C-alpha cells in the first residue's frame, strides 16, 4: 500500500518538475520582471549587509552649521539631514528595517498562518472551513491599518513601560526599546496579514482535492498531512507565491505609514516612514530636495519592483496569458 502511494507521489512530482522549469524559463524571458527582481535583491541585500555597506553610523549627529543639511558630495553621497546624519547610511538601515519587517510578517503571517489555515479549511471543509473563513471575514471587514494605529496609540504607555523594564532587567539593554516597538507592530500586522493568503489557498485546495491523484492517494490510505504536503501543496504553491509577491508592498507600506505617523518603530531606528516625514513640506523640497529624493526614490522603486514582479508571476500562473 505504501509503495503504491509513493509511486503516485513520484509520478505527480515528475510531471510537475518540467512545468516548473518551463515557468522559470518563461520568467527569465520577461526583462521587466528580471529588472524588478534585481532591484529587490539589491534592496534586501543592502538591508541584510547594512553594517558592512553603510559608510557612516546612521545615528551619528554632527550639529555644526557646516555639517547640517549638506548637499550630496563625495563624503556624503546623498547629503546630510538636519542633525548632520548621513542620509545614505540612514536609507540603507531603513532598508534593513523594511527587510526584517516584511520577512517576519510574511513568514509568520502569510506563510505559516495563512498557508496552513487555507490548506486546512479547503481540505477539511465543514465546520473547520466555516470557522476559519468566518474569522477571516470579520478581520477582512475591519480597516487593518486603523486598528493597528489604535493599538499602537492606546498601548503606547504600556509598551514604553515594558521596554524600560526589559532594559533594566534583561540582557537586551539599550536595544530593548527598539525591539519591543518593532515586535508590537509586527504582531499587530500579522493579525490581519494571513486572511488574503488563506482565501487564495483555500480556493485552490477546493479544486485540487477533487483531482484524480488526490482521490487515488486517499483511497490508498495516505494520511491527511501526507496528502496536504505531498499532493495539495505543490499545486497551491504557484498561485500562493503570486499573491505573496503582490502583498509584500502592502506589508512594507504598513510599517512606513506607522513610522510616518510616529507610531511605528522606535525613533532611533531608521525607517523610510520617518525619513519621508522629516523631508515633508514644499519649502523643504525646494531648498533641500536631497532629503526627499534620497529616501523617496528607493521606496518608489521598491513598490514598483514588487508590483511588476507580481504582474509577471500572474501572467505565468494564468494559462490564458502565459503564451503572450
- For 2-317, the fitting CATH number among 3.40.50.970, 1.10.3720.10, 3.10.129.10, 3.30.565.10 is 1.10.3720.10
pLDDT tens-digit readout, 95-118: 999 999 998 988 888 788 888 888
Residue in this structure with the C-alpha cell 507592530, named with its chain if needed: 185
Among 237, 233, 271, 238, which residue's Cα sits nearest to residue 252?
271
Greater confidence (304 vs 239) lies with 304
The whole-number pLDDT of residue 221 equals: 67
Among 58, 103, 95, 53, which residue's Cα sits nearest to residue 80?
58
Residue 67 pLDDT grade (very low, low, confident, very high; cuts 50, 70, 90):
confident
| pTM summary value | 0.81
The whole-number pLDDT of residue 5 equals: 44
Mean pLDDT in residue range 206-217: 74
Put residue 69 in one of left, alpha, beta given phi > 0 → left and psi -120 to 50 → alpha.
Answer: left
pLDDT at residue 322 above 50? no
Greater confidence (170 vs 76) lies with 76
Cα angle for residues 170, 100, 108 (degrees, 5° grid): 90
pLDDT at residue 120 above 50? yes
The whole-number pLDDT of residue 93 equals: 94
Q: What is the 3-state secondary structure (H, E, C) of 112-141?
A: HHHHHHHHHHHHHCHHHHHHHHHHHHHHHC
Greater confidence (79 vs 11) lies with 79
What span, in angstroms and rounded, lies between the C-alpha atoms of 142 and 186? Answer: 18
Residue percentage of the chain with pLDDT more than 90: 12
Amino acid at each position: 500500500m505504501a509503495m503504491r502511494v509513493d509511486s503516485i507521489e513520484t509520478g505527480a512530482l515528475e510531471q510537475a518538475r518540467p512545468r516548473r522549469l518551463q515557468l522559470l524559463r518563461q520568467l527569465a524571458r520577461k526583462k521587466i520582471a528580471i529588472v524588478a527582481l534585481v532591484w529587490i535583491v539589491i534592496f534586501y541585500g543592502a538591508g541584510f549587509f547594512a553594517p558592512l555597506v553603510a559608510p557612516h553610523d546612521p545615528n551619528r549627529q554632527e550639529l555644526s552649521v557646516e555639517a547640517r543639511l549638506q548637499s550630496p558630495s563625495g563624503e556624503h553621497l546623498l547629503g546630510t539631514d538636519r542633525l548632520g546624519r548621513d542620509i545614505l547610511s540612514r536609507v540603507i538601515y531603513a532598508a534593513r528595517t523594511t527587510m526584517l519587517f516584511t520577512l517576519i510578517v510574511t513568514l509568520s503571517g502569510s506563510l505559516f498562518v495563512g498557508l496552513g489555515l487555507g490548506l486546512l479549511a479547503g481540505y477539511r471543509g465543514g465546520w473547520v472551513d466555516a470557522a476559519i473563513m468566518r474569522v477571516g471575514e470579520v478581520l477582512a471587514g475591519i480597516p487593518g491599518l486603523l486598528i493597528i494605529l489604535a493599538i499602537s496609540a492606546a498601548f503606547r504607555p504600556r509598551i514604553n513601560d515594558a521596554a524600560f523594564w526589559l532594559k533594566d532587567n534583561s540582557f537586551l539593554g539599550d536595544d530593548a526599546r527598539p525591539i519591543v516597538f518593532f515586535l508590537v507592530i509586527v504582531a499587530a500586522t500579522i493579525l490581519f496579514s494571513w486572511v488574503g493568503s488563506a482565501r487564495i489557498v483555500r480556493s485552490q485546495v477546493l479544486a485540487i482535492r477533487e483531482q484524480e491523484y488526490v482521490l487515488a492517494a486517499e483511497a490508498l490510505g495516505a494520511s491527511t498531512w501526507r496528502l496536504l504536503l505531498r499532493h495539495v501543496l505543490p499545486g497551491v504553491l504557484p498561485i500562493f507565491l503570486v499573491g505573496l509577491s503582490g502583498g509584500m508592498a502592502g506589508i512594507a507600506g504598513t510599517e512606513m505609514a506607522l513610522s510616518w505617523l510616529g507610531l511605528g518603530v522606535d525613533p532611533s531606528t531608521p525607517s523610510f516612514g520617518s525619513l519621508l516625514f522629516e523631508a515633508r513640506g514644499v519649502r523643504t523640497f525646494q531648498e533641500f530636495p536631497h532629503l526627499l529624493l534620497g529616501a523617496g526614490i528607493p521606496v518608489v522603486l521598491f513598490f514598483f519592483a514588487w508590483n511588476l514582479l507580481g504582474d509577471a508571476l500572474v501572467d505565468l500562473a494564468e494559462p490564458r496569458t502565459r503564451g503572450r
